[in-house]
């Protein structure tokens, strides 16, 4: 099979297409013909040597999400048959024409979606749903702050909040992207120019602050985010685009009785990942089938254009997901 290989931590310029051996499914695994995948910042970091793949995952084939067809299965597999359309998350290897995954991690594709549409869903919506609903307990009436609301996870989080009845304030550094987010239902936004946004967030919430903040930025945004939280609020730290260190106002954390939760999907155990996959299939997939949730796609391009797509991601020029098809 063909695969996109990340060579010598050279970044997007170091990606090469090569013929490699196809994987063989284990007893509880399915073999998937990958029709489409989508880019994530973790992929970009991996090509730069900054986010190594976990043990047991192809070290030189990035790619965290896929949509495709089952073309083989292990001896104990019962959930799937050859020809079934599936999508899902993997810890790596989705930049290849074929991959293997545990049968219980795969998610049935909604019938109304194309492979390109489906490939844009697993990482962004699983991350948003897991962080906001399964961990932070977002529900009807919750006030939620979403940083980088025009990103892949940000646009997914905006829709997840609407589905569960929460109210959103979105932040961003690009006015045009914030304007585009209004088409997804964003009614309140804060254009962040100088790193300050807490005062405006509290103004928009009658001085109270938000119940939950989904922080995809980290770094020096963390103190402002803590300031923007209401008493007993929750900071869900998902991304570190602005850096991996921050000066945390601990007095505020104590005085407001805040929860600060770091979360990641890639490093979880198999059983933990299966829990998220099953919750996604049961609680989110029907919403895609009924049009309540929709993939947000910046562009769909052939896999051969992967280096250019990575460069676009690195430049923060995209709105939503960049999808690649074989």
What are the residue ranges of helices labelled H in 139-189?
152-163, 175-181
User: Between β-strands 98-102 and 29-38, what pairing exists: parallel, antiparallel or unpaired?
Assistant: antiparallel
- Structure tokens of 40? 């994530």
Q: Output the CA angle 251-200-156, nearest 5 degrees.
A: 95
Binning pLDDT at 50, 70 and 90, where does residue 278 land? very high
Alpha-carbon gap, residue 114 to 323, rounded angstroms: 12
Give the separation between CA 32 and CA 74, rounded to whole angstroms.
12
Q: What is the pLDDT of residues 85-134, one digit of tens each?
A: 999 999 999 999 999 999 999 999 999 999 999 999 999 999 999 999 99
Question: How far is the C-alpha of 222 from the C-alpha of 220, rounded, in Å?
Answer: 5
- pLDDT at residue 223 is higher than 90: yes
Residue 143 pLDDT class (50, 70, 90 cuts) = very high
In this prediction, what percent of the chain has a pLDDT beyond 70? 100
pTM equals: 0.95
Mean pLDDT score of the chain, rounded to an integer? 96
User: What is the separation of C-alpha 107 from the centre of its chain, rounded to a whole number of angstroms?
Assistant: 16
CA distances for 260 relative to 143, 149, 220, 265, angstroms: 16, 20, 15, 17
Nearest one of 92, 87, 100 to 6, comparing CA atoms: 92
Identify the band that residue 8 occupies on the pLDDT scale cut at 50, 70 and 90: confident
Look at residue 239 and tell me whether its pLDDT is greater than 90: yes
């Amino acid at each position: 099979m063909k695969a996109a290989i990340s060579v010598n931590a050279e970044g997007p310029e170091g990606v090469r297409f090569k013929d490699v051996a196809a994987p063989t499914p284990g007893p509880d695994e399915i073999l998937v013909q990958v029709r489409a995948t989508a880019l994530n910042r973790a992929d970009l970091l991996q090509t730069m040597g900054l986010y190594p793949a976990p043990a047991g995952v192809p070290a030189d084939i990035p790619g965290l999400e896929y949509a495709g067809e089952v073309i083989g299965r292990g001896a104990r597999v019962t959930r799937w048959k050859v020809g079934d359309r599936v999508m899902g998350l993997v810890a790596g290897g989705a930049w290849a024409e074929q991959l293997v995954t545990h049968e219980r991690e795969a998610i049935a594709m909604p019938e109304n979606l194309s492979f390109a549409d489906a490939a844009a869903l697993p990482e962004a919506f699983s991350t948003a749903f897991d962080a906001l609903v399964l961990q932070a307990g977002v529900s009807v009436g919750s006030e939620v702050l979403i940083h980088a609301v025009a990103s892949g996870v940000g646009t997914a989080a905006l829709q997840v909040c609407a589905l569960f009845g929460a109210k959103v304030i979105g932040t961003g550094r690009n006015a045009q992207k914030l304007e585009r987010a209004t088409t997804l239902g964003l009614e309140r936004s804060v254009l962040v120019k100088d790193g300050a946004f807490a005062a405006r967030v509290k103004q928009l919430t009658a001085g109270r602050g938000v119940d939950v903040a989904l922080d995809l930025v980290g770094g020096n945004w963390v103190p402002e985010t803590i300031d923007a939280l209401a008493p007993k609020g929750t900071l869900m730290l998902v991304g570190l685009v602005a850096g991996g260190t921050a000066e945390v106002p601990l007095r505020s954390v104590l005085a407001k009785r805040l929860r600060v939760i770091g979360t990641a999907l890639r490093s979880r155990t198999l059983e933990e990942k299966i829990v998220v996959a099953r919750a996604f299939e049961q609680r989110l997939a029907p919403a895609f089938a009924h049009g309540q949730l929709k993939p947000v796609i910046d562009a769909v391009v052939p896999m051969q254009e992967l280096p250019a797509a990575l460069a676009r991601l690195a430049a923060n020029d995209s709105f939503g997901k960049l999808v690649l098809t074989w």
